[in-house]
Amino acid sequence: MATFLYKLGRLAFRRRRFVALIWVALLAVAGVGAATAAAPAADSFSVPGTEAQRAFDLLDQRFPGANADGATARVVFRAPRGETMKDPANKAAVEHTVRALKSGSDQVDQVADPYLAKTVSKDGRTAYAQVTYKVTGFELTDHSKDALKDAAKDGRTSGLTVEVGGNALQAIPETGATEVIGIGVSAVVLVLTFGALIAAGLPLLTALIGVGIGVSTITALSSALDLSKTTSTLAMMIGLAVGIDYALFIVSRYRAELTEGREREEAAGRAVGTAGSAVVFAGLTVVIALVGLAVVNIPMLTKMGLAAAGTVVIAVLIALTLIPALLGFAGKRVLPRKERTAKEAGGPGAEGAARRPNMGTRWARFVLRRPVPVLVAVVLGLGAVAVPAASLELGLPDDGSQPTHTTQRKAYDLVSDGFGAGFNGPLMLVVDARDVHEGQSAKSAAAQVAAKVKALDDVAVLTPPAFNKAGDTARLTVVPKSKPSSVATEDLVHDIRSRTADIAADTGARTLVTGTTAMNVDVSQKLNDALVPYLALVVGLAFLLLMVVFRSVLVPLKAALGFLLSVVAALGAVVAVFQWGWLADLFGVEQTGPIMSMMPIFLVGVVFGLAMDYEVFLVTRMREAFVHGERPGEAVVTGFRHGARVVTAAAVIMISVFAGFIGSSDSMIKMIGFGLAVAVFFDAFLVRMALVPAVLALLGRAAWWLPRWLGRILPNVDVEGEGLREPSAGEADAHEARTPERV
């Protein structure tokens, strides 16, 4: 592989105008396609295989026009102290608002009048009108949302407190500002790393081109492939991260080759042949992690993973072709001015500086002298941080997790105070009595279900069964006593399902539990069940891939175990802050609660890709030094001398990008930003920079051991670039003696 990539790098360097033109043309074509494409499909959230989803599907069949999955809004009214909602002026204001809600948009399906629906609290001060829409929350137009807000605003003019909850006002979080901050920090770090504006600008330029092509292509294909508006979010985040990383690796190696005195074209070829090989395999590990999201079997998550994987492939191709082409245009200006001047004057320049130990060299030697204390400190430290992960509770956000200043949270609190916390998350029971046993009827089966459910402790309200026109399916609404995201409500969902299973066996009528709260419970369970298979698939495939890269058994095993340690520690930190409330004020966490269900798998997928980037780049340089004749300890020092600064820069960039999201007002975005930033910090600086050299120091030559029979089976991809070097006979003999298992 190194030889092929070496030739590719030299070709791109020589034909730089042609290569650059191709990528500019691709960017233009993708941009035109995105600009002229049909509007992206509306986001839909379906979870095949769950009971809640089957119930939604059954409602669509048996209750035509019911819009079970349509958007909802709950407009909550609170009368001033000393007044009630039954006072004539307040009642008139509510009825006026209800009329405005009905006429505000043609997407409105129904509006329940609080006085007719009897949704007025016992003390008379609070009431709410339930608004249902014909479309999902993602399909609501801005006009419909504005009409909802305007109706609430009109209600406030009468002196009432009016707040709006539900998913009708949900919005896709805007990430533009944080991305700009992240790019700005990246630019500063790159300038400090390279000491030259040209070298610092190349990774940013190529990363933006790759993200532009990837996101524009997703937008252009959104209608044809049924991709939603949110599909490009993960693609943008991952594409920017790996795009900067991969370009950083190759530009850094190119500068090192120039420093050793090679001509520019030769330096570009060798940079792509060596660092480019690491980029290819690092990219493959990221693709495995993203494509593996399909294991969860949530269509939206699968599409996001595939789209992001495509963007990663583009980033790899750009790194292998466009980077050497742009290096051809840049010339030696990728080196700092002092190095260029010294080199032109015939002085030692960077070569003399290279003889002085840099920070990476000094750190590697420190770890090699004290491997056991470093190893114990890292493992115990990360283990301590990981302890809270044992109490991880998963859930999906509701209005109760919104910031306290939002209208959704205010509506949630008003309903909780006036009616009870469970009114914010009612459950819906669907009794399918089409195949009841002989001698049974749909009404008797529904009555038995109602009696069983009403006897449960956590049930506050149970509505009578409402049948469809055919009379073979009934709906019942259950209001829990507990809030939607509580463990008690989750237990109630499971209790209802277990109790009604006996009725199904006796009568033949099956009962399904659905609603937003039940869907959240099912999604959390599905994601929790998929986490271990996902980890096994991703880590297993990556282990095999890394075994091919490093031609070792213990090095890939160490990489996988180190990643698991950093991820569990990151989950522990997330639980401590967002579930337990530790340092909540410092990070602006207004409401603690269950961790978002998608967080663990999302964290694993994103961080695994970045962690393997750092592992491959750092350790392949060690492997390269070992194969070329250095002792195991010397090889570790060489890897850190050349790679520590680059890996540090890449990690700081990613931490800065992710940490920018901690300032978001959306609690879920804040949680994701915090989790990713902490995970990258743990993995890059504690696992890759401390745990890896400590383990390699203890293993010594055994780290690169590979059974002969396995060495004959595994393909020799030559990631270390041995094929680019013509060793002397003595070196060849020594190398053969050190690595007899090599094919």
Percentage of the chain lying above the pLDDT 90 cut: 26
Identify which of 673, 687, 671 has the alpha carbon closest to the alpha carbon of residue 592.
Answer: 671
Q: Are 687 and 714 in contact (CB under 8 A)?
A: no
pLDDT at 42 over 60: no
Locate 508 and state its tokens: 């033949």
* CA–CA dist 120, 128 (Å, integer): 7
Helix (H) or strand (E) holding 120: none
User: Which pLDDT band, with edges at 50, 70 and 90, does 392 fall under?
Assistant: confident
Identify which of 349, 248, 262, 295 has the alpha carbon closest to the alpha carbon of residue 644.
Answer: 248
Dihedral of the alpha carbons of 142, 144, 145, 147, in degrees to the nearest 10: 120
Q: In the 8-state DSSP scheme, what is residue 43?
A: P
The pLDDT tens digits of the residues spanning 278-317 come to: 888 888 888 888 888 888 888 878 888 888 899 999 999 9
For residue 370, the model assigns a pLDDT of: 93
Say which residues have a Cβ less than 8 Å from residue 490's Cβ, sequence separation at least 6.
Answer: 521
- Could you tell me the pTM of the whole model? 0.80
For residue 720, the model assigns a pLDDT of: 60
User: Which pLDDT band, with edges at 50, 70 and 90, does 177 fall under?
Assistant: low
Locate 575 and state its tokens: 């639980």
Q: Are 520 and 593 in contact (CB under 8 A)?
A: no
Say which residues have a Cβ less than 8 Å from residue 59's Cβ, sequence separation at least 6.
Answer: 66, 68, 430, 475, 514
Query: Which neighbouring-strand residues pair with 427?
Result: 478
Cα-based distances in Å from 538 to 279, 454, 597: 18, 45, 19
Q: Which residue has 């509701």 as its token pair?
A: 398
* CA–CA dist 644, 205 (Å, integer): 23
Q: Are 566 and 549 in contact (CB under 8 A)?
A: no
Taking residues 306-330, report their average pLDDT: 91
The pLDDT tens digits of the residues spanning 482-512 come to: 988 888 898 999 999 998 888 888 888 899 9
Phi/psi for 472 (5° steps) reads -110, 0
Task: Give all domains of the chain, ordered by start, each with its CATH number.
Answer: 1-43+172-351 (1.20.1640.10), 71-169 (3.30.70.600), 426-514 (3.30.70.1430)
